[in-house]
Chains A and B, each alone.
Chain A
């Protein structure tokens, strides 16, 4: 049977790059859903999405810290870093598409799948990775970077494999009197650089802190060992926060998963601008929608600059993260304008950010095609 264990430092670095890519891939869907909500409604949903998107940014930074700790180079400008939506994420034996869409029942169903607890059903325990062919036009996340058709059962399982790899490689290094944690300490991002954190951001310098970092990512997403809270009974996991919105009721201490018994909450399922899902800039009429198209392009350019800034911040200039904060608030204002503008030739549908980053996969594919036909 194919061993999906991580056996070399280079493999571990690639897994951690994929982890950053995976964490980042959840941000555009959450961010768009958050800012698609109309003013004055859905305050509970707004609060939940805001908290979760901030925590996903924290996870991205934690993954960068782990990669830096083992001497890797986080690069958010690699052509495949930003995914083409809808992208495919693991959902047990099948997969599902995560895309850019307005807040609503459909978006929430997707978000629940993203944060779904990792537990395999009994008949699949110990069965290895799930073999599944991904369409060549779809970006797959949560797969083995060495074999793109081999998928982990869940995001949690993907991270467990990373944790096992770190333990194995560090034990191997110890045997010869060295360590894999050779990264420059000054590249670590800590809470002082990370405003309004969504959790504590600590330096990763050894096996203990690396494993703690991975635990934090898993628990914030899906809860601790099947429970609804993270390990300190302190914070409700993302999955159960979304579940509260679907069920219209808050969880409280002592509740069983799937059965919230706290106060009721109101969700206005119509309280979002009707954006066209997974819009691409080319779908915006060049004449009728020229201003919208220009704004969508400007957003993508700015988002690309943001990823460049993060790359520099994660490569030895942590204080640049403070400059990233106002850019994120700029995104909010830009997205508000995009989602309130009608999309020409699509009656009843509005514009949306497209997250097509200049220089990313899609553009690369077009270039390749041009080279072939030349």
Chain B
């Protein structure tokens, strides 16, 4: 796996999840998720997605958000794959692509709903986003329910809206 390909995947994931690079690497699953994408939709589509990300206008450009919508999320081939990737980061689960996508581009052998690994469930970003812990894991400790949850501050989105 080339490191620039991984870097592009990480950059794309930061943009899609609104979590920081540190948070994403902190799950210990970034490489695993890129491999999941490669396995399920194949290297070609993954590369197309990464290329679309690299081709975006620079981060400070107001056109960037618009471009994310049109060339990635609104793209016929890449949109559903991207949404599955967001769900993967948040839940640790790959959700089977919609039937419209499958009918148009063909069914992929590995495309089924599955949890990537036990720790993928535990490290799902959704838990961090809501200030909760995954049921059955990362217990917050005896008596902790007596204290208010810790909900992380929202990332600064002002410059991009």
Give residues in A with beta carbon < 8 Å to B.
38-40, 195-196, 273, 291-292, 294-295, 322-323, 325-326, 328-330, 332-333, 336-338, 340-342
Contact = CB atoms under 8 A, between A and B. Distances in A.
Contacts of B26: 295, 336-338, 340-341
B28 to A, nearest CB: 4
A341 B25 CA distance: 5
B140 A39 contact: no
B109 to A, nearest CB: 26
Nearest to B128: A333
Contact of A40 (B25, B119, B140, B147): B119
A276 to B, nearest CB: 15
A34 B139 CA distance: 16
Contacts of A196: 142
A338 B21 CA distance: 12
B138 interface: yes
Contact of B22 (A39, A326, A329, A337): A337
Interface of B: 20-23, 25-28, 117-119, 122, 138-144, 147, 150
Contacts of A323: 143, 147
**3 closest Cβ contacts across the A-B interface?**
A337-B26, A291-B22, A39-B119
Contacts of A322: 142-143
Q: Which secondary structure characterizes the binding site on chain A?
A: helix
A333 B138 contact: yes
B27 A340 contact: yes
A323 B143 CA distance: 8
B80 to A, nearest CB: 29
A337 B25 CA distance: 7
A291 B155 CA distance: 13
B153 to A, nearest CB: 13
A329 B25 contact: no
A291 B138 contact: no
> Chain B CB within 10 Å — which of A291, A322, A337 has the most?
A337
Contact of B28 (A38, A291, A295, A328): A38
Contacts of A342: 25
A322 B150 CA distance: 17
A342 B122 CA distance: 21
Contacts of B150: 330
Contacts of A292: 22
Given A39-B28, A291-B21, A326-B140, 6 more contacts: A39-B122, A273-B28, A325-B141, A325-B144, A326-B144, A329-B138
A343 to B, nearest CB: 11
19 contacts: A195-B142, A196-B142, A291-B20, A291-B22, A292-B22, A295-B22, A322-B143, A323-B143, A325-B143, A326-B140, A326-B144, A326-B147, A329-B141, A330-B140, A336-B26, A337-B22, A337-B25, A338-B26, A342-B25
Nearest to A293: B22
B52 to A, nearest CB: 26
A342 B10 CA distance: 13
> Chain A CB within 10 Å — which of B20, B118, B140 has the most?
B140
Contact of A337 (B23, B122, B143): B23
Contacts of A326: 140-141, 143-144, 147
A246 B14 CA distance: 41
> Chain B CB within 10 Å — which of A323, A326, A342 has the most?
A326
B124 to A, nearest CB: 13
> Chain A CB within 10 Å — which of B26, B117, B147 has the most?
B26
Contacts of A330: 140, 150
Contacts of B144: 325-326, 329
Nearest to B145: A326
Given A38-B28, A40-B119, A328 B141 contact: yes
